[in-house]
Chain A
Amino acid sequence: MRRVLSVLVNDQPGVLARVAGLFSRRGFNIESITVGNAEEAGLSRMTIVTSGDERTLEQVMKQLHKLVDVIKVNDLTEEPMVARELVLIKVTATATTRPEITHLIEPFRAAIVDVGRNSLVVQATGDMDKIDALIELLRPYGIKEIARTGVTALMRGSLAKVRV
């Protein structure tokens, strides 16, 4: 099962290696990992997408907690969350297909951010399913390159569960 973890860490050299190392040691594949500054100076938030059985994941989360540079670990999978990723897709585009592609990506609220002689770069944000769907839609035109940021996520404010 796919899991989304949110990990608040000290912005220290080596912290990414410590976190990533824990996953690889337990045989866990990291599908994506995003890191950036968090709301507080000196802290970073990592969003990690991974998959694996529940017991091993629980062990990984507990081991993450034990890292001195880890402040907080949340499993967002079952929580109401906002999860978004950004993708850049360089797709083959000729004079004839260009208007077609432009039209096609509209419902995705995607944007064309670069126009070349034989290609377009499409930029889109959304959850993973939406990005996957967009890629599949563009595939017949000939995709030259894809760069995905990986999911970054936060728990929703309004629907956050109240702990009893």
Chain B
Amino acid sequence: METQKLDVMPAPEVSAPAAGPGVMTGAAMLVESLKREGVDLMFGYPGGAVLPIYDALYESGIRHVLTRHEQGAVHAAEGYARVTGRPGVVLATSGPGATNLVTGIADAYMDSTPLVLFTGQVSTDLIGSDSFQEADIIGITMPITKHSYQVRDARDIPRVVREAFHIASTGRPGPVLIDIPKNVANQTAEFEWPERVFIRGYNPTYEPNPAQVARVVEAIREARRPLLYVGGGVVHSGAAEELREFAHKTGIPVVSTLMGLGAFPSADPLFVGMLGMHGTFAANRAVMECDLLIAVGARFDDRVTGKLERFSPRSKKVHIDIDPAEIGKNVPVELPLVGDVKRALAAMLPEVGPVGTKAWLDQIRAWDDQWPLRYKTEPGTLKPQQVVEMLWEATGGDAILTTEVGQHQMWAALFYKFKRPRQWVTSGGLGTMGYGFPAAMGAQLAKPGEKVICVAGDASFQMNMQELQTVAENGLPIKVAIINNGYLGMVRQWQQLFYDRRYAESRIGAPDFVRVAEAFGIRGMRAQTPEEAREAIREMLEHPGPVVVDFVVPEEENVFPMVPPGAGTDEMIGRWDD
């Protein structure tokens, strides 16, 4: 018996050979291409324009995690990418599905996180007609993607997918978006997997120029107060081991950006700390006084440099980066070295020897002794820094930490001592509140055996807490540590310091997080004193499933030390010298 077709779509158009061994729909080609790229996990949310793709995914063997918002999907994919180094994969529908990805795409672009994002699109004959759930996602995301494609012929799908994974994960990694109109997903054609990738306009420079390597080695030999300034590029490049060898062979101390944390062990005697706006006093002072600053996979971001004219005035600068556009962008550099950080360090290693930095290291140590990182404790009061320290102790420094954005993020960066790369997952460049909790889902799915803790703020957590359902459904044993001060803490801190304590809209209410967690079938706890916190952390880590802990901390605690906006890094405030 014939059943009536309810689908308003025209029957899939057949434009290629009607039959044959490799003939399939565009949607099936997409799934086949994902398998060939080794994708076994993706994040997404279905909708009208991606129905054919979801149909092809059904029973395909690729695990699809259904989030509760597309933003949750894209941040989860970022978390996955950051702990594995492999591209995170996202699928969303056209229009609102696609636009809900935008923040995550911008985030990934800023922090060089490899993603491959698939968006559905209305059928090609409807594009440009303001049809239902149509949005020009290619146009919208042009400034925030490394590259993007709109597929107009199903035959192109295997090549485009292959190119997208290649572009996302090579050179300076980044997000690549593929927009697939619904009729292209339904179109049938012969599947042809390209043997190799050739993209004429895309040839990232991996090998550093040997002559330039020699010049850098010479500069290092001549330096008396050299300093390694390392960033996220060391993590992306997988160069942590080379960096460790390089620092130890030369005796050069290391400061790290927010994104570089974990690239060099925090406990290493050569590690000075994080630099920049909320860096340590010793780290910023070392940048100020060094005579050779070796930037490795870092980009002289304004949160690092402070006022540019005052940044590291006494140093000659070396900049090692795979992206030539970063060289000289913010700070003039005497010795650029374009190439893969890992290869650059490896090329220099046999040529360098001890630089004779003892006096320099003693000086840095003296600064650190004089102005160490610390905070005031009060009996019976739970300090936010204390919570992070307790988490660090209780996990032996081995947990994967994700964060939201704000004060808690800075405390986590400063007080958790990282051991290895890919242990630290945070939104650096874009500063995206709502990032950390979904990112923790991706991290946990990628590393099921590891402890994943999301250090969150009470305001940030409210931005994507709908994902509690995703966590519960998938049984992800994520621990959420909410540092609850009842404020948008960093906004409040700036208002206190620079707006005469006028707390405009930074006071923010929150639901009872314990009961919220319980409503999702997740364990919820609250701690208000150091004793309660210690106990809660113990219980939280022992509990096999997900846990949300509400750590209630004082309202007006500040992240110190701090370089005030527009000031030089030698003008830090809050060093406890009062």
A residues lining the B interface (CB < 8 Å)? 9-10, 13-14, 17-18, 21, 25, 55, 58-59, 62-63, 65-71
Q: Knowing A68-B167, A68-B201 are in contact, say whether A18-B325 is a contact too (CB < 8 A).
A: no
**A67–B201 touching, CB < 8 Å:** yes
B residues within 8 A CB of A70?
201
Q: Return the contact of B138 from the options A9, A10, A14, A58 (Cβ within 8 A).
A: A14
Q: Please give me the residue from chain A that is nearest to B200 by CB atom.
A: A71
What is the total number of residues of chain B having a CB less than 8 Å from a CB of chain A?
18
Q: Does B428 contact A (CB under 8 A)?
A: no
28 contacts between A and B (CB under 8 A): A9-B201, A10-B201, A13-B150, A14-B138, A14-B139, A14-B142, A14-B150, A17-B142, A21-B142, A21-B143, A55-B328, A58-B328, A59-B325, A59-B329, A62-B325, A62-B327, A63-B325, A65-B325, A66-B323, A66-B325, A67-B147, A67-B201, A68-B146, A68-B147, A68-B167, A68-B201, A69-B201, A70-B201
B residues within 8 A CB of A58?
328
B residues within 8 A CB of A21?
142-143
**B143–A25 touching, CB < 8 Å:** yes
Interface of A is mostly: helix
- Seed contacts A58-B328, A68-B199; 18 additional CB < 8 Å A-B pairs: A9-B201, A10-B200, A10-B201, A13-B150, A14-B138, A21-B142, A21-B143, A25-B143, A62-B325, A62-B327, A65-B325, A67-B147, A67-B201, A68-B146, A68-B167, A68-B202, A69-B201, A70-B201
Q: Please give me the residue from chain B that is nearest to A42 by CB atom.
A: B200
CA distance A9 to B200 in the complex (A): 10
Q: Does B521 contact A (CB under 8 A)?
A: no
A residues within 8 A CB of B329?
59
B residues within 8 A CB of A9?
201
Q: Does B353 contact A (CB under 8 A)?
A: no
Q: Please give me the residue from chain B that is nearest to A61 by CB atom.
A: B325
Q: How far is the CB of B249 from chain A (nearest CB, A)?
A: 32
- The number of A-B residue pairs with CB atoms under 8 Å apart is 38
Q: What does the 1/0 interface line of B121-159 toward A look like (CB < 8 Å)?
A: 000000000000000001100110011001000000000
A residues within 8 A CB of B143?
21, 25
Q: Please give me the residue from chain A that is nearest to B147 by CB atom.
A: A68
Q: What does the 1/0 interface line of B3-32 toward A look like (CB < 8 Å)?
A: 000000000000000000000000000000
B residues within 8 A CB of A59?
325, 329
Q: How far is the CB of A134 from chain B (nearest CB, A)?
A: 38
Q: How far is the CB of A58 from chain B (nearest CB, A)?
A: 7
**B324–A65 touching, CB < 8 Å:** yes
Q: Please give me the residue from chain B that is nearest to A14 by CB atom.
A: B138
Q: How far is the CB of A77 from chain B (nearest CB, A)?
A: 19
A residues within 8 A CB of B324?
62, 65
Q: Return the contact of A17 from the options B139, B146, B150, B200 (Cβ within 8 A).
A: B139
Q: Please give me the residue from chain B that is nearest to A67 by CB atom.
A: B201
Q: Knowing A13-B150, A68-B202, A71-B200 are in contact, say whether A18-B323 is a contact too (CB < 8 A).
A: no
**A18–B328 touching, CB < 8 Å:** no
CA distance A71 to B202 in the complex (A): 8
Among A17, A62, A65, A68, chain B packs the most CB atoms within 10 A around the CB of A68
Q: Return the contact of A71 from the options B142, B150, B201, B328 (Cβ within 8 A).
A: B201
CA distance A76 to B329 in the complex (A): 22
CA distance A63 to B150 in the complex (A): 22
Q: How far is the CB of A144 from chain B (nearest CB, A)?
A: 35
CA distance A62 to B299 in the complex (A): 15
CA distance A94 to B282 in the complex (A): 81
Q: Please give me the residue from chain B that is nearest to A13 by CB atom.
A: B150
Q: How far is the CB of B206 from chain A (nearest CB, A)?
A: 15
Q: Return the contact of B142 from the options A18, A62, A63, A65 (Cβ within 8 A).
A: A18
CA distance A10 to B147 in the complex (A): 13
Q: How far is the CB of A40 from chain B (nearest CB, A)?
A: 10
B residues within 8 A CB of A69?
201
A residues within 8 A CB of B199?
68
Q: How far is the CB of B107 from chain A (nearest CB, A)?
A: 18
A residues within 8 A CB of B202?
68
Within 8 A of A (CB), among B353-367: none
A residues within 8 A CB of B200?
10, 71
Q: How far is the CB of A13 from chain B (nearest CB, A)?
A: 7
